[in-house]
Amino acid sequence: MELLGSVGICFFFAQSYHSSMKYVGPVRKELGVRTIFNILGPLTNPASANLQVLGVYSEELVEPLARVLANLGVERGMVVYGQDKLDEISMSSPTTVCEFDGNCFMTYVIRPEDFGFSSCQKAELEGGTPEENAQITLDILSGGKGAKREAVLLNAGAGLYIAEKAASLADGVRLAAELIDSGKAKAKLAEFIAASNR
């Protein structure tokens, strides 16, 4: 929580904040299928975030979980499901979205093409080892182009839009690109790393 206050971003490991989750992890792995436990962590966010973008593993959960978030006190949010079974805004398929602000709910579908991007193959979005993923992140924040950058722009743009830093999702995507291209996003990552290592 200290990093959230000083840097503006942080990472919460569910098992550290919800001790019962350490018992759930082995069961989840053994089952080999997604269950309600995949979404309990985000629903029990220890930061009590009142603005949220939440990805879900099933299209049937999009609208119900938007309503659950609103009932939990989230003021404005977006629940997304990539129709290629991704729990994020997808670059390789349409994405079902339920956006809400107070008690006003709106469900719609977006596509990469709506934002000037070309759809890609799901394999183009795959990461790798933690070291490979760190390098992918640095490449994107250093101006690298391609489907992974565009996926970051779409998902970061959604967060910027929900946080009312942008007037629309499209404006959020443009702002995300500006923050990356200006070097501000990479500087924020460096600040986060430095603060994490103190």
Q: What are the residue boundaries of the structural domains of the chain, listed by start? A: 1-197
Give the pairing of strands 104-110 and 95-101.
antiparallel
Please say if the pLDDT value at position 18 is more than 80: no
Q: What token pair was written down for 71? A: 């009932």
In degrees and rounded to multiples of 5, residue 27 shows phi and psi of -65, -45
- Residue 142 burial (10 A CB sphere; 0-12, 13-18, 19+): exposed
The pLDDT tens digits for 119-135 are: 999 999 999 999 999 99
How far apart CA 35 and CA 123 sit, in angstroms, is 24
Mean of pLDDT over the chain: 90
How far apart CA 193 and CA 66 sit, in angstroms, is 32
Class of domain 1-197: alpha beta
**CB of 70 within 8 A of CB of 103?**
yes
The pLDDT tens digits for 4-13 are: 889 988 887 6
**CB of 162 within 8 A of CB of 52?**
yes
The confidence score (pLDDT) of residue 137 equals 97
Query: Could you tell me where the DSSP H helices lie in 50-98?
Result: 62-71
Q: Which of 47, 79, 86 is nearest to 162 (CA)?
A: 79
The pLDDT tens digits for 19-69 are: 566 666 676 677 777 676 667 767 777 777 899 999 999 999 999 999 999
The confidence score (pLDDT) of residue 79 equals 98
Tracing tokens 């008690």 back to the chain, one arrives at 103
How far apart CA 131 and CA 117 sit, in angstroms, is 27
pLDDT grade for 191, boundaries at 50, 70 and 90:
very high
How far apart CA 72 and CA 61 sit, in angstroms, is 16
Q: What is the pTM of this model?
A: 0.89
The pLDDT tens digits for 67-103 are: 999 999 999 999 999 999 999 999 999 999 999 999 9
